[in-house]
Amino acid sequence: MNLSLTGKYALIGGSTQGIGLATARELALMGANCILLARNETSLQQAVGTLDTQQGQQHSYVVADFMQPDTLREKIQGLTALQPVHILINNTGGPAGGPITEAKEEAFLDTFNQHLICNHILAKAVIPGMRAAGFGRIVNIISTSVKIPLKNLGVSNTIRGAVASWAKTMANELGADNITVNNVLPGFTRTARLEGLIDNIAHKTGRDIDTIEKDMQTEVPMKRFGEAEEIAAVAAFLASPAASYVNGVSIPVDGGRTGSI
pLDDT digits (tens, 9 = 90+) for 149-207: 999 899 999 999 999 999 999 999 999 999 999 999 999 999 988 898 898 888 888 99
pLDDT in tens, 223-255: 999 999 999 999 999 999 999 999 999 999 999
How many CB atoms sit inside 10 A of residue 55's CB? 15
For the sheet containing 9-13, what is the strand order?
A: 60-63, 33-38, 9-13, 87-90, 136-141, 179-186, 250-253
Please tell me the distance from the alpha carbon of residue 110 to that of residue 203, in angstroms, as a whole number: 25
Give me the residue spans of the domains in the chain: 9-187+226-250
Residue 148's pLDDT band (cuts 50, 70, 90): very high
Q: Determine the pLDDT at residue 99.
A: 93
CATH placement of domain 9-187+226-250:
3.40.50.720
pLDDT in tens, 5-40: 999 999 999 999 999 999 999 999 999 999 999 999
Q: Determine the pLDDT at residue 132.
A: 97
Return left, alpha or beta for 104; rule: phi > 0 is left, psi -120 to 50 is alpha, else beta: beta
**Bridge partners for 152 per DSSP:** none
